[in-house]
Chain A
Amino acid sequence: MNHETMLACYRALDLTDEKGFLCGKVLADLGADVIKIERPGGDPARSVGPFYHDIPDPERSLNWFAFNANKRGITLDIEKADGKHMFSKLVETADFLIESFSPGHMDELGIGYAVLSRINPKLIMISITPFGQEGPYRDWKGSDIVVWALSGMMYVSGEPDRPPLSPSFPHSYFFGAMQGAVGAMVALCHRHMTGCGQHVDASAQMSLAWVTQPEFQGIWDIEKKIVKRSGRLRVRPGTGVRMPIVWQCKDGDVSLILSLGSGVAAANRALVEWVKGEGDNCDILDQIDWWTFSWEDVTQELADQIIEIFSRFFLSHTQAELFEGAVKRGIQLSPSLSPKGLLEFAQLTERGYWVEVEHPELGTTITYPGAFVRPTETVCGIRRRAPLVGEHNEEIYKQELGFSAEEMLMLKQAKVI
């Protein structure tokens, strides 16, 4: 078994809070040596739930586990003089520094990009913030819902008769963290040409504005029309016909987006045959020549009739029945899954997606999502659980930076580490 990883020769220092964890996590999944730097006593984000067995404890945060796996962890107060000095030492050999402080904070501490790039001109610094390092919102406070709102995503989420909606599991920042990771890799490749690192300015707002797509942005461009939230109905751009993507079935939801055209005609026909075979009245669908049928032929009245037939059919079947039948017939219908459904989803199990990660301190193993890519020559995925508070202080400070046991004790008492 090959254990080589793509980025094993690189080191990243990770100063981020929960806004930026994912950036270092994905680099670590690809093999980079990512050192999570926490303040003495532990990172405040260790208080972000959920928790192992619902017991709130800095060493039991599942959010921390999920996004800091594969990292090593040290404690360091970068606001103290000794801490700054030690941090500078670490910067000398680092390839990446990832941070998510408010813009300007690192500069105020005297360890901004300008200073650090003099210590190590090859350093690539990645800053992940709500709105970026520049511009009129630079100093604005951006919680996850505020970024979701200002990106445009919120306005088109939710039901027409309720306020615009945000996700109950906030993840606006993850888009910024991931764009930061991609930017870091571009900067790395650029460094091979120039020998110099650079500053990657990743904005969560900008990263999420990208997600709003032409259905939102493009309609404004060409029609100066503002698209609104439409709940479970998707308004088809152009014709304005409303149809669901997610449908209720006997025991949950399934998703199916009606596509038309010769490429999907056979699948559409197969769906009609299936409905018909169960004795449901679907004459309207049966009469359609799916090979020539186009969206110009679909009025809202016809759409409503189709919706009625599908709704009745789906409601009389379970998710499992519908999915099994769809796979057999090549129909693009999927179950709408919860985490439990994901953990039981056969395809993911067959591919060995889930990884059991040992947590010796808890006396157990925990199931994690594994690799986000399967390369032939290298491995991606989780190799070790997230670090405990200060777990690798000895390894890094003593063995690498050469501090003595006495100095370590002194630094600990002075609350530097």
Chain B
Amino acid sequence: MKNEESKSQTMDKRTFEKIKVLDFTWAGVGPFSVNFLAYFGATVIKIENMSRPDVTRTNPPFKDGIPDLGHSLYFSYSHPVKKYDITLNLNHPKGVDLVKKLVLQADVFAESFLPGTMEKWGLGYEDLRRIKPNIIMFRTCSHGQTGSMAKHPGLGFTLTSLAGFNTVMGWPDRPPSELLGAYTDLVAPLFGGLCIIAALDYRRRTGKGQCLDFSQHEAAIQFLAPLVLDCAVNGREPNRGGNHCTHAAPHGGYRCQGDDRWCAISVFTDDEWRAFCKVTGHPEWTNDRRFGTLLSRKRNEEELDRLVEEWTRERSPEEVANLLQAVGVPAGVVSNAKDQREDPQLKHYRFFRELDHPSMGKLGFYHPPGFKLSGVAPEVSAPPVLGQDNEYVCTQILGLSDEEFVELIQDGVFS
């Protein structure tokens, strides 16, 4: 701990260095939202419970197949940042007391329980306000704090189809397909992080805190807004068009040389089409009545796709992408996990970073946010171990004596 402190003193100013966050969130959306503060220097105290740790700690995949709390890749993925980690038993009055003491110092209080849970512990928004009038409380759950479904539990896995994303994934002749994992868990926190930081800025100017009722469903639907408008005014339901696009051809993923290797290609403009024909050795296609215009290409798309694939399947996806990009045609390897890790662009940004984890050793998927700032760098870190900072938070942040801390241990406040 001492080393880290002296290191941070010599570093440049951290954006949120004066901001303290009490983070009761778990699973995907809450932690991902709070991470934006943690990347840029906020003091985040993650509060877990020994009998109910963050659910992602119990989710596979596990390193070396060891299904314990210290081996979940998901937890590492949702916490690639520095957070202090304490375990508190909130059914013990002294546990709740500790939280209230921390609230006095906190700027943001984040939670992702089902509505009503914090109130049961006497830690609802009104309770927090009495302790710290300008606190910002970020409350996130699937459906929001109000409404008849407020207390219905949800997961990103199912929220994805509830938000409408499945209706735009699939082939016209088959039922809707799936999106990888808990997709909306990666959409909603972008809105969540945004409004927490906006609320901090608002408080800086006005002195006012507030409670942010953040429904993950309502945030995720924002991405599909034009489809909602289309249905509302035109009565249209979205089509599943496979990889085709209404105003581009060729447009899709084309088979290349190798086992299950593909390249994505899209041709929107006449210039792109001319360049495409030239580079594929078919300059005659620009005058072909089947393919000369976008309209004709759309009419003969099946045949076109087949001919395009005749060219791509003789080449590696890298070669196809490089040849096409060199003449200004949008194309890119359909990256698998290996390609992704070796992608020169992601490497340039050091998107994947190898860090040492106390129980899992080196893992290479720790990451910064999806943006790079010219004036301040994010701090990427391996995740905290369950309860690793019980002593630090009590004695250094709350200023309790060693005796008081030991007494709390004996009272079972951390178990």
CB contact between B198 and one of A7, A207, A374 (< 8 Å): that residue: A7
Which residues of chain A are near B204, meaning CB under 8 Å? 192
Q: A155-B262, A203-B371, A338-B167 are in contact. Are A375 and B212 (CB under 8 A)?
A: yes
Which residues from 280 to 333 on chain A have a C-beta closer than 8 Å to any C-beta of chain B?
A: 295, 327, 330, 332-333
**At the interface, yes or no: A334 with Cβ under 8 Å from chain B?**
yes
- Choose the segment among A75-83, A142-150, A393-401, A403-411 that binds chain B (4+ C-beta atoms closer than 8 Å): A142-150
CB contact between B213 and one of A188, A201, A374 (< 8 Å): that residue: A374
Question: Cβ of B195 and Cβ of A372 under 8 Å apart?
Answer: yes
Which residues of chain A are near B228, meaning CB under 8 Å? 66, 339, 342-343, 367-369
* Sample (6) of A-B pairs whose CB atoms are under 8 Å apart: A50-B230, A62-B226, A189-B16, A203-B372, A221-B365, A253-B176
Least CB distance from B301 to A in Å reads 14
Considering the chains assembled together, what is the distance between the CA atoms of A366 and B153 in angstroms?
A: 31
CB contact between B338 and one of A50, A226, A234 (< 8 Å): that residue: A226
- Chain B residue at smallest Cβ distance from A210: B370
CB contact between B266 and one of A146, A200, A369, A371 (< 8 Å): that residue: A146
Considering the chains assembled together, what is the distance between the CA atoms of A347 and B217 in angstroms?
A: 10
| Contact-residue bracket for chain A | 35 or more
Question: Cβ of A351 and Cβ of B334 under 8 Å apart?
Answer: no
**At the interface, yes or no: A413 with Cβ under 8 Å from chain B?**
no
Q: A162-B171, A186-B40, A238-B60 are in contact. Are A332 and B335 (CB under 8 A)?
A: no
10 smallest CB-CB distances across A and B, nearest first, come from A207-B370, A135-B348, A149-B264, A183-B371, A220-B337, A179-B370, A339-B231, A237-B61, A178-B190, A218-B73
- Choose the segment among A35-43, A104-112, A255-263, A268-276 that binds chain B (4+ C-beta atoms closer than 8 Å): A255-263
Which residues of chain B are near A216, meaning CB under 8 Å? 180-181, 337, 340
**At the interface, yes or no: B293 with Cβ under 8 Å from chain A?**
no
Which residues of chain A are near B328, meaning CB under 8 Å? 141
| Contact-residue bracket for chain B | 35 or more
**At the interface, yes or no: A190 with Cβ under 8 Å from chain B?**
yes
Contact with A along B174-210 (1 / 0, CB 8 A): 1111111111001100111111011111101100111
Which residues of chain B are near A377, meaning CB under 8 Å? 202, 208-210
Contact with B along A233-249 (1 / 0, CB 8 A): 11011110000011010
Contact with B along A39-53 (1 / 0, CB 8 A): 000000000011011
- Chain B residue at smallest Cβ distance from A213: B181
Question: Cβ of A246 and Cβ of B178 under 8 Å apart?
Answer: yes
CB contact between B335 and one of A53, A150, A211, A255 (< 8 Å): that residue: A150
For the residues of B in contact with A, the DSSP-based class is mixed
**At the interface, yes or no: A157 with Cβ under 8 Å from chain B?**
yes
Question: Cβ of B373 and Cβ of A186 under 8 Å apart?
Answer: yes
Which residues of chain B are near A58, meaning CB under 8 Å? none
Considering the chains assembled together, what is the distance between the CA atoms of A67 and B58 in angstroms?
A: 39
Which residues of chain B are near A30, meaning CB under 8 Å? 194-195, 198
Question: Cβ of B376 and Cβ of A373 under 8 Å apart?
Answer: no
**At the interface, yes or no: A9 with Cβ under 8 Å from chain B?**
yes
**At the interface, yes or no: B260 with Cβ under 8 Å from chain A?**
yes
Which residues of chain B are near A164, meaning CB under 8 Å? 253, 262, 334
**At the interface, yes or no: A279 with Cβ under 8 Å from chain B?**
no
Question: Cβ of A369 and Cβ of B243 under 8 Å apart?
Answer: no
Least CB distance from A26 to B in Å reads 6
Least CB distance from B361 to A in Å reads 10
- Choose the segment among B82-90, B95-103, B232-240, B283-291 that binds chain A (4+ C-beta atoms closer than 8 Å): B232-240
**At the interface, yes or no: A120 with Cβ under 8 Å from chain B?**
no
Considering the chains assembled together, what is the distance between the CA atoms of A136 and B178 in angstroms?
A: 32
Which residues from 347 to 367 on chain B have a C-beta closer than 8 Å to any C-beta of chain A?
A: 348-349, 351-352, 363-365, 367
Question: Cβ of A166 and Cβ of B180 under 8 Å apart?
Answer: no
**At the interface, yes or no: B336 with Cβ under 8 Å from chain A?**
yes
Least CB distance from A137 to B in Å reads 4
**At the interface, yes or no: A350 with Cβ under 8 Å from chain B?**
yes
Question: Cβ of B175 and Cβ of A248 under 8 Å apart?
Answer: yes
**At the interface, yes or no: A174 with Cβ under 8 Å from chain B?**
yes
Considering the chains assembled together, what is the distance between the CA atoms of A150 and B266 in angstroms?
A: 13
Considering the chains assembled together, what is the distance between the CA atoms of A409 and B226 in angstroms?
A: 35
Q: A246-B178, A334-B159, A369-B225 are in contact. Are A147 and B337 (CB under 8 A)?
A: no
Least CB distance from A245 to B in Å reads 5
CB contact between B238 and one of A137, A169, A182, A369 (< 8 Å): that residue: A169
**At the interface, yes or no: B273 with Cβ under 8 Å from chain A?**
no
Least CB distance from B130 to A in Å reads 15
Extra inter-chain contacts (18) besides given A30-B198, A193-B15, CB under 8 Å: A143-B248, A154-B335, A171-B224, A190-B15, A194-B375, A207-B371, A217-B340, A218-B363, A221-B73, A227-B336, A327-B149, A334-B159, A342-B164, A347-B148, A366-B233, A369-B225, A375-B213, A380-B195
Considering the chains assembled together, what is the distance between the CA atoms of A53 and B234 in angstroms?
A: 6
- Chain B residue at smallest Cβ distance from A193: B13
Least CB distance from B252 to A in Å reads 7
Least CB distance from A212 to B in Å reads 7
Considering the chains assembled together, what is the distance between the CA atoms of A190 and B239 in angstroms?
A: 44
Which residues of chain B are near A179, meaning CB under 8 Å? 190, 369-371
- Chain A residue at smallest Cβ distance from B180: A156
**At the interface, yes or no: B104 with Cβ under 8 Å from chain A?**
no
